[in-house]
Structure 1
């Protein structure tokens, strides 16, 4: 009978140890999501997390109670055979301590904590109901211990943090996505969620169309000339300037050409734009565009000159990825065409290429794009069709270039 009681005490100790480690290791976001299912066990688990210190106190009190009982039972069970064997009181106590401690460490600490840490959320669901019953039984004791603890904190001037629920952070959400979303079945959804989490860190400079790629028109063009530019570029809206591109006065939408009928004065249809700095967070730019009901903003540098432009679509694409429209034929091309061979837009960012294709292109504060990388090493704008090697393992062929920029490149990575 006494051995059965010892086994029960070991199992109870294992239960408390497993409960404690699974509580601190569990994915809180999963617990919060389970709560929305209106399941009773999920609501109890959420209550535990709102009263975390009481949960831990209950586990510690329960564990200590069963460990004391276990120690007394082991001492009683082993006293007679050990006394007959050793004939020494100190030796008997020493052997009792070693045996009882070894069993507690292996069966009530190491094994249950390893299980609780490996599958914390599953364990939390399993132990919730029995632990809740123990929680109620031991509540007066845990309340008293909590009161005594607060008294000691005040006496020694230690600040005691109340049981307030810490809000979930971006790190919590990002970890949940990485560890719980099947990257093959839900790759697009996972990417959108991760982009949404990172959106607050994105600046306007990360998603703008640079100054040298803006197609803008002067306000002195005729209606026919403007229609021709719309037709040639395929764009739906164009910035309008007075003197030069640093003097932008608004933008014109292609649909206005149809609303005007035969009117020649298209300038009266120019829509006012907003001006935003490069350093503005993209989420703030999005709010400004939506509040002012505009689809295009001009980005200015620290000297007030035009650094580029950004559209609603450019910002939204930071979350949802590329949205097919009339611009996309001219947007950033990045595709693998053979073994270690790629066709890439000069505008493609180096860190994106390294992440997507593992090209290991050296990163440097002097450049951000592939065109910048090439210019950094060649020190001149190569002609279309020109081929050369950038040590140690990049063979470059310029497929398309204008007088002042590289637009399309064939890159071959030479294996060492």
Structure 2
């Protein structure tokens, strides 16, 4: 019986080693395993083989660990059966002993060691893992395939990230544990979210586009480019929807240097290049790849009716990924100005989601992208100074509008939460307070 008891504890020690190796592999990527193999001349081949087929080695480890734990439980039960006469007492004691021993020697402590000292554990256990893979690999894989037929949807390839949200959640956890810098976390979020971004979300809207008439001369076009500080400008005919092409600063400058005598008599159409047109619902990542492959830096965005709704540049797309890129000609535009009472003076071009972030809420709208669009949508008309709406607990008051076009320039955003208002709630849940009346 002493032999059985000793064998049981040896098996539990082996199970603990396997659990530590399992935990160590879980915190090391393939690249890290290959780097570890380079630093481990004696066991480099074994570690390299594990990195090349990690899932199969994990399956073999799991199978061997379960086998050793089960065999140890049987041996301890036999020892108790020999020592005790009451069957129920044997079962109770065997259950309690195996639960405590398995948790301490297999479940908790070894996994903690494997997580905190993965390289040392992998180096030590690499030959054992390779041997188990060669001996038990086919058996473990066959059993898992049988299990997959009983419970469809599982794979033999180990854990997999189910969706983008799970990936982002893992990235956030890594940043919280200081495994990632906050900037790196933001970049990863931008990369993942960029795939769901539409062109209309990053474009320069139609009303803010700078264009030149096709009737202008090359000199006049060059002067307008220098004044507006744009190196590429769409060339239009009688109206903005009639885009003839795109004028480039380098082409205008080259023409002026080489044909100075023709710079006043030649129209801009002589140096312009064809424009590319993209739908506003196209994904931004696809447009970025297209612009890179075609060496194009500007595209005109068209709506569902074929009209020009804006333009997007290569810089706009890159900024969506990496953040603002300011050069020596860019003017700093502050879109949000905090006020003393906790409110914010915001640009009408501020995004709806960014507005929500100011107050720590999720704010989204499928129909509009900016604060200006949000106010106009809930008012049902063009806003005037003093007009106020409440959306999701945020009170938006029109502050400044452009007289000529009657478009909103700035608004005041204030959090009121669930405060009672005298406004009438619209069908989409916004409180329409209307224009504030003068008390005089």
How does 1:246-265 map onto structure 2 within 5 Å? Answer: 246-259=241-254, 260-261=256-257, 262=260, 263-264=263-264, 265=266
C-alpha distance in structure 2 between counterparts of 1:247 and 1:116, whole Å? 71
Per-residue CA deviation, residues 230-258 of structure 1 (Å, 9 max, x unaligned), is: 34433232110123211111122334443
> What are the Cα deviations for residues 13-68 of structure 1, in whole angstroms up to 9, with x where unaligned?
34444555665xx256x443453453447975664462524432344234423542
1:211 deviation in Å?
1.6
How far is the alpha carbon of 1:73 from its aligned partner? 4.7
Aligned residue for 2:195, secondary structure, equals helix
Is the CA contact 1:27–1:176 (under 8 Å) kept in the aligned structure 2? no
Per-residue displacement from partner, 1:255-278 (whole Å, max 9, x unpaired)? 444331432114222122212222
Match of 1:348 in 2: 350
Contact 1:21/1:117 (<8 A) preserved: yes
In structure 2, how many angstroms separate the alpha carbons of the residues matched to 1:10 and 1:183? 32
What residue is the counterpart of 2:127 in the other structure?
133
Q: Secondary structure at the match of 1:329?
A: coil
Identify unmatched segments of 5+ residues in structure 1: 83-88
SS at match of 1:394: strand
What's the counterpart of residue 34 of structure 2? Answer: 35
SS at match of 1:197: helix
For residues 305-384 of structure 1, what are the structure 2 equivalents within 5 Å? Answer: 305-325=307-327, 328-329=330-331, 333-355=335-357, 357-358=358-359, 360=361, 363-383=364-384
Q: 1:52 aligns with which of 51, 55, 58?
A: 55
Name the SS of the counterpart of 2:64 in structure 1. helix
C-alpha contact 2:144 2:156 (8 A) present in aligned 1: no
Classify 1:257/1:146 alpha carbon distance in 2 versus 1 (closer, same or farther; 3 Å). Answer: closer
TM-score w.r.t. structure 2 length? 0.74
Sort the Cα spacing of 1:99 and 1:397 in 2 relative to 1 into closer, same or farther, 3 A: same
**In the alignment, is the contact (CA less than 8 A) between 2:297 and 2:313 conserved in 1?**
yes
Return the offset for 1:378: 3.0
Q: How far 1:105 moved relative to its partner? A: 1.8
Match of 2:192 among 162, 174, 197: 197
Shift of 1:146: 4.9
Structure 1 Cα separation of the partners of residues 363 and 114 of structure 2: 41
Decide which moves more: 369-378 or 118-127. Answer: 118-127
Q: Does 1:217 align with 2:212?
A: yes
Q: Taking structure 1 as reference, are residues 377 and 115 closer, same or farther at Cα in structure 2, changes over 3 Å only?
A: farther
Unpaired runs of 5+ in structure 2?
420-440
Preserved contact between residue 250 and residue 273 of structure 1 (Cα < 8 Å):
yes
Q: Distance in 2 between matches of 1:349 and 1:18?
A: 49
- Counterparts of 1:11-410 in structure 2, within 5 Å, are 11-20=13-22, 26-27=26-27, 30-36=29-35, 38-40=38-40, 47-48=49-50, 50-65=53-68, 67-69=70-72, 71-73=74-76, 75-76=78-79, 79-80=82-83, 82=84, 89=85, 91=86, 93-109=87-103, 112-114=106-108, 121-122=115-116, 124-138=118-132, 141-143=135-137, 145-146=139-140, 149=143, 174-181=168-175, 186-223=181-218, 225-259=220-254, 260-261=256-257, 262=260, 263-264=263-264, 265-267=266-268, 268-325=270-327, 328-329=330-331, 333-355=335-357, 357-358=358-359, 360=361, 363-383=364-384, 386=386, 388=388, 390=390, 392-394=393-395, 396-402=397-403, 403-410=405-412
The number of equivalent residue pairs is: 401
